[in-house]
A and B are shown apart, each in its own frame.
Chain A
Amino acid sequence: GAVVSQHPSRVICKSGTSVKIECRSLDFQATTMFWYRQFPKKSLMLMATSNEGSKATYEQGVEKDKFLINHASLTLSTLTVTSAHPEDSSFYICSVGDWETQYFGPGTRLLVL
């Protein structure tokens, strides 16, 4: 299966700062990547679809100016949480794949103080 990495695995930041999370597809050329968010002991919720070379598609209720997505190459998508606040603290996880399989990265735990 595809190998997906995320960096950082864990980040703590102060309220008001911006945090960038990288998602790399190590062995799969991904024109599309997906960003999910998960609160403790809850389900995963799709935030946005990252499209290589074009704008991301955001799910209803997700602020595009708050969660900036850049997909500059077939192997890298970044999610930037701008002006982070404590309510943005969550587990962020990306995925790549094909019709029958979606492979997920190891996730990034964000804690905003």
Chain B
Amino acid sequence: AQKITQTQPGMFVQEKEAVTLDCTYDTSDPSYGLFWYKQPSSGEMIFLIYQGSYDQQNATEGRYSLNFQKARKSANLVISASQLGDSAMYFCAMRVNAGGTSYGKLTFGQGTILTVHP
């Protein structure tokens, strides 16, 4: 069975500074994908970034980058130049290649509430 762990219930960061949100995972499947989503108070799930288990380079999307350390089974999200609008709940999620239509079956971590201070 797969498991995703986010050990930081809450994080605080000063505006314009960088912040790292931790995520560790556990799976015995060699083929998997790791996702980060942002959930503001409205509830919508906003896709941020994706990293495949076979990807050689760390994924980046604008101010978001994923620090993928395969041997340590960690997939930390780095947000650079934090903005007030970044305040939200952030979820790390994993999908394993279990065949068929399982690609949409995401297992989510507990989430981290990020608060950006002005």
Q: How large is the interface on A (under 10, 10 to 19, 20 to 34, 35 or more residues)?
A: 20 to 34
- Give the distance to chain B from A98, nearest Cβ to Cβ, in Å: 7
> Is B43 located at the chain interface by the 8 A CB criterion?
yes
- Determine if B108 and A101 form an interchain contact, defined as CB atoms under 8 angstroms apart: no
Q: How large is the interface on B (under 10, 10 to 19, 20 to 34, 35 or more residues)?
A: 20 to 34
Q: Given A43-B91, A46-B105, A49-B104, are A100 and B44 also a contact pair (CB < 8 Å)? A: no
- Give the distance to chain B from A103, nearest Cβ to Cβ, in Å: 6
- Determine if B43 and A107 form an interchain contact, defined as CB atoms under 8 angstroms apart: yes
- Determine if A97 and B44 form an interchain contact, defined as CB atoms under 8 angstroms apart: no
> Is A17 located at the chain interface by the 8 A CB criterion?
no
- Determine if A100 and B111 form an interchain contact, defined as CB atoms under 8 angstroms apart: no
Number of A-B residue pairs having CB atoms within 8 Å of each other in the complex: 66
- Determine if A93 and B45 form an interchain contact, defined as CB atoms under 8 angstroms apart: yes
How distant is the Cα of A91 from the Cα of B95 in the complex, in angstroms?
Answer: 22
Instruction: Tell me the B residues contacting A by CB distance below 8 Å.
Output: 33, 35, 37, 42-45, 47, 50, 52, 89, 91, 93, 95, 101, 103-111, 113
Instruction: List 22 interface pairs A-B (beta carbons < 8 Å), by A numbering.
Output: A32-B101, A32-B104, A34-B105, A44-B91, A44-B93, A44-B106, A44-B108, A45-B108, A46-B106, A49-B105, A95-B106, A96-B104, A97-B103, A99-B33, A100-B52, A101-B50, A103-B47, A104-B44, A106-B43, A106-B44, A107-B44, A107-B45
Closest 9 CB pairs of A and B: A104-B45, A32-B101, A43-B108, A34-B104, A107-B43, A44-B108, A106-B44, A99-B103, A100-B50
